[in-house]
Copies of this chain bind each other. A is one copy, B any other.
Amino acid sequence: MSEEPTSFSADSYFATQPAPPTLEHDIAGVKEFVARQAKEGRNVVLVTSGGTTVPLELNVVRFLDNFSAGTRGATSAEYFLKAGYAVIFMHRQFSLQPFSRHYSHSTNPFLDFLEIEGSKSGTATPPAISVTHAMRKDLVEVLTAYKSVHAAGTLHTLTFVTVNDYLWLLRALSQELSVLKRKAMYYLAAAVSDFFLPRQKMSEHKIQSGKGSLHIEMDQVPKILKPMVDVWTRGDGFIVSFKLETDEQLLVPKARAALERYGHQVVVGNDLHRRKFEVVFVSRKPLPPLPPGVTVNPIGEETTSSFAESWLRIDIPTSPIVHTNQVKEIEEDIVAELVRRHERWIQGR
């Protein structure tokens, strides 16, 4: 791992790094899903969610990871489904998923709210198991939404682990979704590594300790938003990227720089510690005048010559959060705002 870092373009990346073995299978599933949604006239959003890993060894034991439980993506996916969108949920394996997110193994462990009815030991039929009375009200809401989404067939789930899986999937799915033209939205909420270790530089076996300190040198992941905007989606996709910073001062300048550089539609900026209560939508130009009959969330747009920023804030819950689904979630408003903007994007065709 002492070689010189290489500079990868998107093209040279895909030319040198191997495609994940499940890619063809995944593409076939998405192709079918997209064709069905197109026929049924739905808008489709690709939601990416969770962090990516960068394996340091071919037989993976150690990897670099990005922090993300997948809350933003999983929550947003639910609100997109509620808004009538079909959702392709492309997420990090074991990160949160829509609906089941309310019952993680740590908060609300589901075994705690199941009870065995009667005791029929000795009989061949297993006893009935039911949800405790106290949990029914919340669970029935989530379960009803979950079952209706499954019946309608509007949610398609795919998983990735490494940043390499992510990049290959994102390119393939963008190309598949481009047939929907402006009716496709791309909601890139995954926390993607900026760095990776090219296959050619990986150690085959577990890196041995006992030889002093560990040195890792990584290359930069290619900037894929530019080819995604210009080539993969052919300029028609409504593309929303996320910018997470811990230094709030950097948020808006970096969001503007990204829009300038890549030419997509919206950057949602969030500060690590305030991301559940406050985000900023940064877009390139003042929004066009509204069509008659359309109303806009009065979130106070500050306009500069070439950028528009809208801050969205919700109240910080003051009582301890017991069940997530009883508390206002900022993703509800983020999705509502983006659905409005996407509608205008479609009409502006």
Contacts and interface: CB of A to CB of B under 8 A. Distances in A.
A272 B59 contact: yes
A53 interface: yes
Contact of A213 (B5, B61, B116, B143): B5
A61 B191 contact: yes
A100 interface: yes
Contact of A246 (B53, B59, B142, B195): B59
A53 B53 CA distance: 13
Contacts of A137: 126
A116 B104 CA distance: 20
Contacts of A97: 105, 109
A214 B195 contact: yes
Contact of A143 (B63, B129, B195, B215): B129
A131 to B, nearest CB: 4
Nearest to A215: B217
Contacts of A214: 194-195, 216-218, 220
Interface string A89-130: 000011011011001111001110010100000000011111
Interface stretch (A18-26, A38-46, A204-212, A229-237): A204-212
B116 A105 contact: no
A106 B129 contact: no
Nearest to A56: B64
A31 interface: no
B191 A209 contact: no
A128 B131 contact: yes
Contacts of A126: 136-137, 140
A61 B57 contact: no
A100 B105 contact: yes
* Size category, A interface: 35 or more
A315 interface: no
Contacts of A99: 111
Contact of A93 (B64, B106, B139, B220): B106
B206 A247 contact: yes
A302 interface: no
A67 interface: yes
A244 interface: yes
Contacts of A202: none
Given A62-B67, A127-B136, A109 B100 contact: yes
Contact of A129 (B103, B116, B140, B205): B140
B128 A143 contact: no
Given A65-B63, A65-B64, A66-B62, A136 B129 contact: yes
A215 B219 CA distance: 9
Contacts of A176: none
Given A5-B213, A63-B67, 7 more contacts: A63-B64, A94-B94, A97-B109, A116-B143, A129-B131, A205-B245, A205-B246
19 contacts: A5-B213, A57-B246, A61-B191, A61-B272, A62-B66, A94-B94, A100-B109, A100-B110, A110-B110, A114-B143, A116-B143, A205-B246, A206-B244, A206-B245, A213-B217, A215-B215, A215-B216, A215-B217, A216-B218
Lowest 5 CB-CB distances: which A-B pairs, in order?
A5-B213, A194-B209, A59-B246, A129-B131, A126-B136
